[in-house]
């Protein structure tokens, strides 16, 4: 009984420490919102390219997420979710775009690059983007469950990591959110039927 109490107290203390760290980190998060950004037209144009890629993902039964990586106003990498098709849990749109950009630039670091993605990156993708030294992330829909660019956690601006990424959220948010919501509504209907 004593061991259980000590274990519960330790877990509670760890949980409180994590909550405190999360709150501190959220207070230092610097996520700009799309309407605050002076580059709206350029951002919207590249986000539309990402939305077209997301349609390709949806056409093959994948979660509709698309991504493009841009350097000097040129798309150097692009991708859309293909985890199911490629039997690869890491085949998210951002990961595929990052791989293609690194290959095209002949450098594992994609310096001065902006990632445009229809859904806020997950922790896996956020970590890869930090390692790839992406300069900026522009995302469309906020991910309330696994968003790692400021919504549920902020890995792309974490104080303990050696690179921080500028973030702009909510670019063409309505279109991006509608695309993902429609996909999951259809999937739920298929499961019921």
Active site residue ranges: 94
Report the phi/psi class of residue 73: left, alpha or beta, with left for phi > 0 and alpha for psi in -120 to 50: left
Is 87 labelled as part of a ligand binding site? no
CB distance 151 to 143 below 8 Å? yes
Instruction: Name the β-bridge partners of 53.
Output: none
In the sheet with 74-80, reading across from the earlier edge strand, the strands are: 31-33, 166-169, 136-141, 114-119, 66-71, 74-80
At a CB cut-off of 8 Å and minimum separation 6, what does 108 contact? Answer: 102, 132
Is 163 labelled as part of a ligand binding site? no
Is 33 labelled as part of a ligand binding site? no
Known binding positions? 92, 122, 125
Known binding positions for Zn(2+)? 92, 122, 125
């Amino acid at each position: 009984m004593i061991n259980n109490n000590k274990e519960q107290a330790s877990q509670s203390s760890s949980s409180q420490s994590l909550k405190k760290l999360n709150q501190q980190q959220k207070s230092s998060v610097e996520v700009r919102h799309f309407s605050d950004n002076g580059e709206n037209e350029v951002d919207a144009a590249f986000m539309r390219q990402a939305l077209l890629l997301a349609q390709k993902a949806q056409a093959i039964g994948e979660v509709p997420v698309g991504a493009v990586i841009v350097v000097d106003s040129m798309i150097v990498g692009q991708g859309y979710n293909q985890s199911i098709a490629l039997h690869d849990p890491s085949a998210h749109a951002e990961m595929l775009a990052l791989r293609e950009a690194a290959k095209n630039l002949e450098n594992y670091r994609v310096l001065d690059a902006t990632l445009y993605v229809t859904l806020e990156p997950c922790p896996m993708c956020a970590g890869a983007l930090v390692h790839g030294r992406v300069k900026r992330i522009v995302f469309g829909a906020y991910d309330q469950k696994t968003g790692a660019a400021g919504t549920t956690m902020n890995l792309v601006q974490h104080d303990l990591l050696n690179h921080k990424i500028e973030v702009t959220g909510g670019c063409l948010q309505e279109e991006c959110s509608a695309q993902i919501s429609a996909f999951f509504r259809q999937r739920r209907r298929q499961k019921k039927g």
